Structure 1
Amino acid sequence: MTNNKIAEHNAALQNKPALDIVRWGIERANGHAIVSTNFRPFEAVILHLCVQVQPDIPVLWVDHGYNRPATYRYAEKLCERLNLNLKTYLPKLTAAHRDAIYGPIPNVDDEAELKKFSEMMKLEPFQRGMKELAPVVWLTALRKVQNPGRAKLDILSKDEIYNTIKINPVFYWTDADMENYLKQHNLPNEWDYFDPAKADENRECGLHRN
């Protein structure tokens, strides 16, 4: 897909309902669409949207082993509620094994060690998952308001790393929009989420580079 075509699609999709954007993407995937999740706050929105269009859509989750108990309970609740076709990918080392060899989670100021942590515990299993699932279309919950880096993105982009079309159906949604969707569909949320590979919301872990 050329850059001009992507720009045309983004202009056409900007004012479409998120469910229509999901449907548009899945229809073009020829059975090879996935949605990724980390079960952070508001993830029920993108998952609920996707399963309405394709109930058995593969849901790629990297469980790095450092999630808080509330996040694991949230994941279980959503899996049961939405009957998710969850595809869980684990690092080659357990969290306990990594900590024993390399020490605790790196400090937010230690960029080099955070990068190593991310590559080992998140990127490697994610790359493995993307290779095995080989999606034509990759649906995500990225939103413009999340951090300055993501504000430069759009609904649709070509991901050269994974050779897939990335679609962010709720890209222009505010937190209030997300809250309203959860209330409308009686979906749970979870606020105790923490990503040890990012340490703060303005830092990217490396999964979303464009």
Structure 2
Amino acid sequence: MAFTEENIQEWNKRFATATPSEIIAWALEQTPNAVVTTNFRPYEVNILHAVTAVNKDIKVIWCDTGYNTPNTYKHAEELIEKLGLNIHLYVPKQTSSHRDAVMGIPGIDDANHAIFTEQVKLEPFGRAMAEHKPSVWFTNLRKGQTALRNSLDIFSVSKDGVLKVSPFYHWEDAQLDAYLEEYKLPNEHKYFDPTKVLENRECGLHT
């Protein structure tokens, strides 16, 4: 599938007030070749629940950096079972113990930070996308998270030409909390991303 700037603008206007389920259903009608990515950070359960409610067998790509908190791993296992997720797990080629011995977790001003990010996040993600070759990529990007994400919308196109769909893009935390309460879904806030360091930094996947 090829997506033009005109397509994207039209769809963002058309679906500006649509529900997540309406957005997801429409996107899946365009192509069955879709994936949803997750790192089981706070509020990831919203996108996982919404997408699997429309297509329970959709591929769920989990790129595990190896540095998640125990809470995140327990939360992940709970959601995998509760939602019956079709998980495809991708991990770095180096163990965290090996990396800790060589460079630890570099700060953002450290020259090794780019290497670290490539190893724990970008390479596993690139490997996953190369293997599955999706036309549609569901994400839980939201307006207000970072400066880059503020420049996107419900629909955008990745640097590799994949249609990125963010059904909750315009939602606030309070709306997400109401969604969790409505569907009796668990959430987990004790999360750590070693590549971002600061909450408003990009991790590199969406640039």
Same topology, TM > 0.5 = yes
Does the CA contact (< 8 Å) of 2:146 and 2:202 recur in 1? no
Look up the SS of the partner of 1:34 in the other structure: strand
Residue in 2 aligned with 1:114?
113
Residue in 2 aligned with 1:124?
123
Residue in 2 aligned with 1:172?
170
Paired residue type of 2:49: H
Change (3 A) 1:160 1:109: closer
Counterpart pick for 1:28 among 27, 30, 42: 30
Indicate yes or no: 2:2 matched with 1:7. no
Using the size of structure 1 for normalisation, the TM-score is 0.95
Distance 2:125 2:7 in 1: 28
CA shift, 1:109, in A, is: 4.0
Residue in 2 aligned with 1:105?
105
Look up the SS of the partner of 2:147 in the other structure: coil
Paired residue type of 1:28: Q
Look up the SS of the partner of 1:8 in the other structure: helix
CA shift, 1:88, in A, is: 0.4
Residue in 1 aligned with 2:188?
190
Residue in 2 aligned with 1:148?
147
CA shift, 1:26, in A, is: 1.2
CA shift, 1:107, in A, is: 2.1
Identical counterparts, % of pairs: 47
Indicate yes or no: 2:136 matched with 1:137. yes
Does the CA contact (< 8 Å) of 1:62 and 1:90 recur in 2? yes
CA deviations on 1:34-54 (whole Å, 9 max, x unpaired) are 000010000000000000111
Residue in 2 aligned with 1:53?
54
Paired residue type of 1:26: L
Residue segments in structure 2 that go unaligned for 5+ positions in a row: none
Does the CA contact (< 8 Å) of 2:33 and 2:134 recur in 1? yes
Look up the SS of the partner of 1:126 in the other structure: helix
Using the size of structure 2 for normalisation, the TM-score is 0.96
Look up the SS of the partner of 1:51 in the other structure: helix
Residue segments in structure 1 that go unaligned for 5+ positions in a row: none
Look up the SS of the partner of 1:149 in the other structure: helix
Paired residue type of 1:151: N
CA shift, 1:108, in A, is: 4.1
Cα RMSD of the aligned pairs, angstroms, is 1.0
Distance 2:173 2:144 in 1: 8
Does the CA contact (< 8 Å) of 1:137 and 1:166 recur in 2? yes
